[in-house]
Amino acid sequence: MSGSPVAAAGDDRLAGWETVVGLEVHCELATATKLFCGCPNRFGAAPNTQVCPVCLGLPGSLPVLNRRAVELAVRVGRALHCTIRPSTFHRKNYFYPDMPKDFQISQYDEPIDVDGYLELPSGRRIGIERAHIEEDTGKTAHLGGGGRIHGADRSLVDYNRAGVPLVEIVSRPDMRGADEARAYVAELRAILVASGVSDGRMEEGSLRVDANVSVRPIGAERFGTRCEVKNLNSLRSLGRAVEHEAARQVALIETGERVVQQTRHWDEVEGRTSAMRSKEEANDYRYFPEPDLVPLAPDEAFVEAAAAGLPLMPADRRARLAALVPHEADGLLPASTADQVATTVDLGLDDLVVAAMACGADARLALARTANEAAQTPEAARRLDPQAFARLVELEASGSLSATQAKAVLAELLAGGGEPEEIARRLGYEALGSGALVDALDAVVAAHPAEWARYLAGEDKVAQLLTGQVMKATKGRANGKAVAAALAARRG
């Protein structure tokens, strides 16, 4: 297939086809120690320095389950609206040098979390089939042959990562296309970070994604044959890989060939997937119940304690924020506002907006300034004093500050904190105080009695002249809208 146009194909080649995606996300749990022993769960240590008899699989060693890992798995279940149920561990038997025992302890037919969902910012719900606990493998480096497995002459194994606790979160094939797959992982990552379950670092392997991709003609009910794509190390590679794989499958079908169910490897550099070399017996894992562990049956007290302190999830936060801003007459949120809500929650700035509203700030304006301006420097925005922010929003809403001025004051607030009124004065916007505006207006009316009379008589276009005079008198520091409003008010 190399040399075919498939590798360069984008979504436009898939007219008439629907891409179906289900994702398996492996998430390293943010515990202090490994799943079955007291070795530190830490990234980046010198090779083979974070191991003990248990995670090295030495003869005679036995696993003991980490309570915190179970608690975090419970939090995952809660955050994904799963049923949390009694579960057991099995052994998944296969030989591979990165597995110290040559079996992996994993949950098989009785996982801890089942039947949940994740709500995307678009409002679409993606079903979660299950989330189960398992141990990670070690890391293998391939020497010779350019560091790739093919062509290498030997490999070196580091077991520091062996036994690190994972949850594998398996979605239903509910996603349609690369964008939605990316949105799912982004949302899942946000949920896992918010739950304190994971640091979410894809680049360090804290989050690893395998994608099951199939295609079907739009309107068809039956799923196509799927391929599992591995080695997706970023949202970008996930999106590219799904697009590429879907295009590859469509090209196959359109040329009369069949898609063969297989596991494929994503090559980020080449930008294509290729079939993984696997042994014919590789899928006979000979699962059986792990006799060295006892079943897990978390009771309600355990589950409640584990889930305690779980913050609002992004979808709930979006809903909370959206409920606070004015809706259209049809009860819907304008698309631009929905985007602002999503951005604000994504950056963790929704608390700022909500708090500012509680201080009396205008909802739509507070959201706009947050999503458009504060969002540029999210770190600083998260430190912003909501009261100060609320007062700034009110200065703008009341017309005391122009939009341009308000943005300038906000930039100062973000850069160094302080009081918005003081910053406004320092920037020379203090004349905009309503007292100063009234004084200037008095002077202009007194100096232009004829024009004022015409305005009073209903000649609206004179307002422009009067406003210009006010602006002149205030050396341009007045807010045009505020002046117009003041004129209108004086006319009665």
Partner 1 sequence: MSGAGGPRPGAEGLSDAASIASRVRSGELRAADVAEQVLGDVESRDAELHCFNLVTGEAMRAAAAEVDRLVATGADPGPLAGVPVALKDNLCTKGVPTTCSSRMLEGWSPPYDATVVRRLVAAGALVVGKTNLDEFAMGSSTENSAFGPTRNPWDTGRVPGGSSGGSAAAVAAGFAALALGSDTGGSIRQPAALCGVVGIKPTYGLVSRYGLVAFASSLDQVGPFATTVADAALLLETIAGHDEMDSTSLGGPVPRLTEALRSGVDGLRVGVVRDFLADASADCVAAVRNGADVLSRAGASVEDVALPELLHGLSAYYLIAPAEASSNLARYDGVRYGLRVDGEDVEQMNARTRAAGFGPEVRRRIMLGTYVLSAGYYDAYYAQAQRVRTLVARAFARAYEHVDVLLAPTAPSVAFPLGAKTEDPLEMYLADLFTIPSNLAGHPAMSVPFALDGQGLPVGVQVLAPALGEVAMLRAGVALESGATPGARGPVRPGAVV
Partner 2 sequence: MAVELTVAEVRHVARLARLELSAEESVHVAGQLSAILDHVEAVRALDLEGIPATSHPLELVNVLRADEVRPCLTREEVLGGAPAVEDGRFAVPRILGETP
Footprint on this chain of partner 1 (rule: CB under 8 A): 53, 56-65, 91, 93, 95, 97, 100-103, 155, 157, 279, 283-284, 286-288, 291-294
Q: What is the DSSP string of 157-224?
A: EE-TTTT-EEEEEEE-S-EESHHHHHHHHHHHHHHHHHTTS----GGGTSEEEEEEEEEEETT--S--
465 touching partner 2, by CB under 8 A: no
**127-146 residues near partner 2, rule: CB under 8 A:** 137, 140-142, 144
1 touching partner 2, by CB under 8 A: no
Write the DSSP symbol of residue 109. S
Phi, psi of 126 (to 5 degrees): -105, 125
Helix 449-456 to helix 480-491 angle (10° resolution) is 70
Shortest spacing between CB 44 and partner 1, in angstroms: 22
- Going through 238-395 in order, the beta strands assigned E by DSSP cover 263-267, 272-275, 288-289
Residue 157 or 355 having the CB closest to partner 1: 157
Residue 47 or 348 having the CB closest to partner 2: 47
Shortest spacing between CB 92 and partner 1, in angstroms: 10
283 touching partner 2, by CB under 8 A: yes
Neighbouring residues of 140: CB distance < 8 A, sequence distance ≥ 6: 97, 98, 155, 156, 157, 158
The stretch among 51-59, 212-220, 244-252, 353-361 that binds partner 2 (CB under 8 A) is 51-59
The stretch among 39-47, 204-212, 327-335, 387-395 that binds partner 2 (CB under 8 A) is 39-47
The entry of partner 1, partner 2, none near residue 298 (CB within 5 to 8 angstroms by kind) is partner 2
Q: Contact 453/465 with Cβ under 8 angstroms? A: no
The entry of partner 1, partner 2, none near residue 372 (CB within 5 to 8 angstroms by kind) is none
Residue 219 or 291 having the CB closest to partner 1: 291
Interaction pattern, residues 364-393, with partner 2; x per rule: CB under 8 A: ------------------------------
Q: Contact 423/388 with Cβ under 8 angstroms? A: no
Residue 68 or 81 having the CB closest to partner 2: 68
The tokens for 337 are: 């506002």
Of 23, 25, 33, 243, the one binding partner 2 (CB under 8 A) is 33
Phi, psi of 71 (to 5 degrees): -60, -40
Phi, psi of 385 (to 5 degrees): -75, 115
Residue 99 or 342 having the CB closest to partner 1: 99
Residues in the chain: 492
- By C-alpha distance, which of 45, 30, 286 is closest to 165? 30
- By C-alpha distance, which of 176, 169, 187 is closest to 242? 176
- By C-alpha distance, which of 314, 384, 300 is closest to 85? 300
Rounded to an integer, what distance in angstroms lies between the CA atom of residue 85 and that of residue 276?
35
Of 10, 53, 326, 360, the one binding partner 2 (CB under 8 A) is 53
The entry of partner 2, partner 1, none near residue 278 (CB within 5 to 8 angstroms by kind) is partner 2
Q: How far is CA 456 from CA 18, 209, 393, 429, 442, in A?
A: 65, 70, 32, 29, 15
**215-274 residues near partner 2, rule: CB under 8 A:** 230, 263, 265
Shortest spacing between CB 165 and partner 2, in angstroms: 10
Shortest spacing between CB 283 and partner 1, in angstroms: 8
Shortest spacing between CB 220 and partner 2, in angstroms: 31
67 touching partner 2, by CB under 8 A: yes
Of 12, 153, 221, 379, the one binding partner 2 (CB under 8 A) is 153
Residue 52 or 463 having the CB closest to partner 2: 52
Q: Contact 367/321 with Cβ under 8 angstroms? A: yes
Would you give the distance in Å from CA 255 to the centre of its chain?
38
The entry of partner 1, partner 2, none near residue 397 (CB within 5 to 8 angstroms by kind) is none
Q: Which residues bind partner 2 (CB under 8 A)?
A: 31-33, 37-40, 46-53, 56, 64-70, 86, 94-98, 137, 140-142, 144, 149, 152-159, 230, 263, 265, 276-279, 281-286, 288-289, 291, 293-298, 302
